[in-house]
Amino acid sequence: MPPSRSYERHGRMAYDKLLYRVSKVMLTSSRLAALAEVLSKRESGSKKEFYVHYIDYNKRLDEWVSPDRMNLGKLQPPAKKEPKSQPGSAKGSRPSSPEREANAPMRKQVSQNRKRKLGMLDRADDESSTDAPPPPKTGSLRPHGGNMSHDDVVTRIKNVQMIELGRCRMKPWYFSPYPIELTSEPVIYLCEFCLKYVRSRKCLERHRTKCTIFHPPGNEIYRKGSISVFEIDGRKNKAYAQNLCLVAKLFLDHKTLYYDTDPFLFYVMTEMDGHGFHTVGYFSKEKESTEDYNVACILVLPPFQRRGYGKLLIEFSYELSKFEGKTGHPEKPLSDLGLLSYRSFWTQTLLDVLIGLPRGEDGSPPIVAINDLCEITSIRKEDVISTLQHLNVIHYYKGQYVLHVSKELLETHRRSAAKRKVQIDPKHLHWTPKDWAKRGKW
């Protein structure tokens, strides 16, 4: 049955209940049928649309679709959650012993006493405490967790249609909590230097007459050619840090927007020309990390992806770790694109070191320990081992581990290295590590 007739037949009775998984929704790009989950619906006059998430596809492909692209004849209602069985009432559980049955009234009395005590403590806390303070009006990115619900339907629906940053217009991939009065606009305009957001081009032009900066706030700690990196303190530049996190949330789904930038440093990479320093990407890191994280969040803006900036940011983060004299690693989870970039960087870095190791005086193969590789590259031991295992170059032979790099892997590495035109030069990095633990206040 054609989709239009299917909608005429089933649409009226199914529309009000359509928060189901639909059997077939046509993908715009590939024109292939894919199973999708309907998250929301909207009406504008006689026009009806559904917001769908394609099962087993990245959420950046989620979109609003019209009913003629959907097969409404086959609806799958969401799976019902099975009620949790009570302990002791489950099938196959052993019957309670006479001793447990005899002690049941005593246990019940103890439980009631504990509840009374807890209730008294709760009331005492309520009487002695005031209302909880509202969260600070700043933002930073953290991995999913805590009390925030990742599956909230509101945050699963893209709320921004388009942003304009400098010479680039970008279509967002995910939800970002911009003010609701701006999300109804077809385009949100951003100042490419301070990242302030406005609702129209005229407002942006008026802002540019007042905004006097032509680069990110903070200290320029690296410059070579047209590439510069600025270090921004999340406490000293809260407004810029919040705006940067709002932009990043448009293209990162695995992070949640939190409300405190004070503990973070932001390293913004820019391209310089005659009009100023234009942001291409950034990464953030904690000032004090108990787990030696050297990256909390990393992003390359879509117009600048597949141009080597991702690896350049990763390389820069490890150069900072070398200056600090310790190994580092990124916070988990990584996005799909982030994991590919890190795996590629680890592979190239470790192979560069292994190929450059000198042979022994008698021509014997070089000897190197895993800890030596960690010290040379500042890559964490677990990441070194996982990368070597992924490349299948580490083997156990005659009671010891040996590394064997095949000719095919060497050839692939040489081709990949030839494509890398830009790398971080430590000689152009002017930066001194700070001991944030000794500072009374960030």
The reply to whether 331 belongs to the active site is yes
Report the C-alpha gap between 354 and 366 in whole angstroms. Answer: 9
Encoding tokens for residue 112?
């009631």
For residues 220 and 229, is the Cβ–Cβ distance under 8 A?
yes
Report the C-alpha gap between 215 and 211 in whole angstroms. Answer: 11
- CA-nearest of 136, 130, 3 to 72 is 3
Report the C-alpha gap between 247 and 262 in whole angstroms. Answer: 18
Instruction: Verify cis geometry, omega within 30 degrees of 0, for the bond prior to 134.
Output: no
Encoding tokens for residue 8?
């005429």
List of E strands, 45-104: 47-54, 63-65, 75-76
Encoding tokens for residue 434?
């700070």
Report the length, in residues, of the chain. Answer: 442
Torsion sign across C-alpha atoms 204, 206, 210, 214 = positive
Report the C-alpha gap between 296 and 288 in whole angstroms. Answer: 11
Torsion sign across C-alpha atoms 183, 187, 191, 192 = positive
For residues 301 and 251, is the Cβ–Cβ distance under 8 A?
yes
Helix and strand numbers (H, E) in the chain are 10, 20
SS (H, E, C) 72-88: CCCEECCCCCCCCCCCC
Encoding tokens for residue 310?
């991702």
Options 331, 375, 382, 408, the catalytic residue: 331
Report the C-alpha gap between 284 and 278 in whole angstroms. Answer: 18
Encoding tokens for residue 352?
């560069």
As annotated, the active-site residues are 331
